[in-house]
Structure 1
Amino acid sequence: MTAVQAPGRTPGRPVVPLWWGVDAVPDSFGPCVVTVGVFDGVHRGHRRLIDHARAVGRERGLPVVLLTFDPHPARVLGVDRDTAVLTTVDRRAELAAAAGVDAVCVLRFTAGLAARTPDEFARDVLARGLGAAAVVVGANFTFGARAAGDVTTLATLGTGFGFTTHVVPLLRVVDAPCSSTHARRCIRSGRLDAAARSLGRPHRVDGARRGDVVRPEPGTALPPPGRYHGLVDGRAADVEVLPDGQVRIVAAAGDRPSPDGPVSVVFAGDGGALR
């Protein structure tokens, strides 16, 4: 098990546990409220799910666990769909912690997991693995082999396995779905302002810096090649997205950061692109 410090939390305060797989959940961990999804981007719609889960948790006096998957299920299943990464797993966990969850559980999405029936997933992962007393999902949630289960299936299975099911309507922003797919589409087309509205914050890319070049995590969602305003490790900077998917730091306010190591690049929203 690892632990994630939520952004903005006072050092020394408790951190949020990050469990890789249900086998990592401590035996002493009791009943909980689970919210399930990929949660890539932890966008405004995702935070609505988290808020609802927290409300259920407060009502029942239970902790909230965010259950996510890595890699993206569509990538493993070979679905023809854009799965460019909006947030790494660690960043996802940080944002979830900042939104108020008590723990994060990551399931490795494999062919074996994909082959589980809805009944097996509800029983082995939700009921037995996490001890779910309540499960909170979005209205478009599907699960199990060939996505055979939906929210109605989940509610039926929950009755047998001892958890209640809570379905949260999808959030819409400016007449467009508030979804990871929409955010990726906006980023790919350079509409960073629209992406920021969907995400609830400017898009951030994490990677490794060598000199003035940042190498993002493989498969990261990036805007089109060109120069943009933004922040590099919190400092105002102009950056250039290169055709090969790397990001070059063109100019930064004050002293430049040390040449090597992990770095975050935040792309500005409205007016972010330099014309």
Structure 2
Amino acid sequence: MAVLTLSWAEFPPPEFTGGCVTIGNFDGVHRGHATLVGTAKRLAQSVNGPTVAVTFDPPPVALLNPAAWKLPLSTLADRTAALLAAGADHVVFLKTEPSLLALSAEAFFEDVLVRQLGAKAVVEGYNFHFGHARGGNTAVLRVMCAAAGIAFEEVQPLLVNGEPVSSSRVRSAVNAGDVATAANLLGRPYAIAGEVVTGAKRGRTIGFPTANLDRVETLLPAVGVYAVRATVGDQTYAAAANIGPNPTFGEDARKVEIHLLDFAGDLYGRTMGVEFVARLRETKPFANVAALVEQLQRDIAATRTALL
């Protein structure tokens, strides 16, 4: 398995070519994406070649309409890992450059799929578009593939609760704090990662020390308190997370604070991954510290129950 970042005019090593290619933004790599890669895996075997997932860095919208760009659901590293776990043999990140975005659908097909990747098969989702101004769709791609002697398969939407699984649905669920729905759409818990930095250290004075996360590169769930699993290195801990301000202490800055259950130690400067399992409650102010501590004790009990 290998990962490459290429300009559309560059050539990958031979082991990346002659297989089945699937192209997309793959933000979050949800269950629909996994179905797409799984179908590509099957078709790759029929042409005796690799399964190659092709995505973009940065996403095209970052250049085409920067105002519409949103924080991603996954980092590039997490996207890569999820695509490989879904069955891709190789992942290619195409550099999103003006020259790439200027390619017509016909030029993209010839220059990227045929010349660069030597595709023998292509698999795409029902709503796939490609080329300048989204000029190509699956109907166009099917005709192009047939003319070039390339196998093509279109994957129909994966439905959950009667609606297609999509990155937009995952994003909506995360924005609403509905991490259970997000996990159902993703096929795994929604997760973030960040660096543990120094905070106000107020939590330790009331018996609930927290790890404060900074440099989180992905979308944060809605403000609230969550039952989570926190991973540092090769150790995973049950934990409770607060996303948002500390209104009891008059603070309105949005923070990411993680209280690891049954843990004592120094994590400053370490990278922590956080998987969101359940939303416990809204963030709210308390009349005094004693009332806050009572609620935190209930949160810890609820966290233990949620993570059983």
TM-score by length of structure 1 reads: 0.86
CA contact (8 A) 2:11 2:117 kept: no
Q: Is it true that 1:263 corresponds to 2:272 in the alignment?
A: yes
| CA shift for structure 1 position 137 | 0.4
| CA shift for structure 1 position 118 | 0.5
| CA shift for structure 1 position 73 | 2.1
Q: Is it true that 1:272 corresponds to 2:279 in the alignment?
A: yes
Deviates more, 1:131-140 or 1:24-33: 24-33
Map of 2:221 onto structure 1: 223
| CA shift for structure 1 position 179 | 0.4
Map of 1:65 onto structure 2: 52
Map of 1:104 onto structure 2: 91
Q: 2:105 aligns with which of 114, 118, 122?
A: 118
Map of 1:18 onto structure 2: 3
Letter in 2 for 1:32: G
CA contact (8 A) 1:228 1:238 kept: yes
Indicate the SS of the match to 1:273: strand
Q: Which consecutive aligned stretches of 4+ in structure 1 deviate over 4 angstroms post-superposition?
A: 79-82, 243-246
Deviates more, 1:113-122 or 1:242-251: 242-251
Letter in 2 for 1:237: A
| CA shift for structure 1 position 216 | 4.1
CA contact (8 A) 1:45 1:179 kept: yes
Map of 1:7 onto structure 2: none
Indicate the SS of the match to 1:38: coil
Q: 1:242 aligns with which of 237, 241, 244?
A: 244
Indicate the SS of the match to 1:135: strand
Q: Summarize the Cα distance change of 1:54–1:27 in structure 2 as closer, same or farther, 3 Å threshold.
A: closer
Map of 1:134 onto structure 2: 121
| CA shift for structure 1 position 181 | 0.4
Deviates more, 1:235-244 or 1:88-97: 235-244
CA contact (8 A) 1:123 1:161 kept: no
| CA shift for structure 1 position 111 | 2.8
CA contact (8 A) 2:237 2:260 kept: no
Distance across 2 between alignment mates of 1:119 and 1:257:
56
Distance across 2 between alignment mates of 1:249 and 1:237:
7
TM-score by length of structure 2 reads: 0.77
Distance across 1 between alignment mates of 2:5 and 2:172:
29
CA contact (8 A) 2:40 2:51 kept: yes
Indicate the SS of the match to 1:249: strand
Deviates more, 1:29-38 or 1:204-213: 204-213
Distance across 2 between alignment mates of 1:140 and 1:239:
36
Indicate the SS of the match to 2:281: coil
| CA shift for structure 1 position 242 | 2.8
Correspondences of 1:1-275 after superposition (within 5 Å): 16-21=1-6, 23=10, 25-27=12-14, 29-78=16-65, 81=68, 83-211=70-198, 212-218=211-217, 220-233=218-231, 234-242=236-244, 246-256=255-265, 258-268=267-277, 271-275=278-282
CA contact (8 A) 2:28 2:79 kept: yes
Q: Summarize the Cα distance change of 1:256–1:91 in structure 2 as closer, same or farther, 3 Å threshold.
A: farther
Distance across 2 between alignment mates of 1:246 and 1:99:
33
CA contact (8 A) 2:19 2:47 kept: no
Higher-Rg member (1/2): 2
Identical residues among aligned pairs (%)? 31
| CA shift for structure 1 position 150 | 0.2
| CA shift for structure 1 position 245 | 5.4
Letter in 2 for 1:170: P
CA contact (8 A) 1:20 1:106 kept: yes
Letter in 1 for 2:257: R
Indicate the SS of the match to 2:136: coil
CA contact (8 A) 1:229 1:272 kept: yes
Distance across 1 between alignment mates of 2:56 and 2:147:
25
Deviates more, 1:24-33 or 1:259-268: 24-33
CA contact (8 A) 1:214 1:248 kept: yes
**Structure 1 unaligned regions, length at least 5:** 1-15
Aligned length: 257
| CA shift for structure 1 position 259 | 1.7
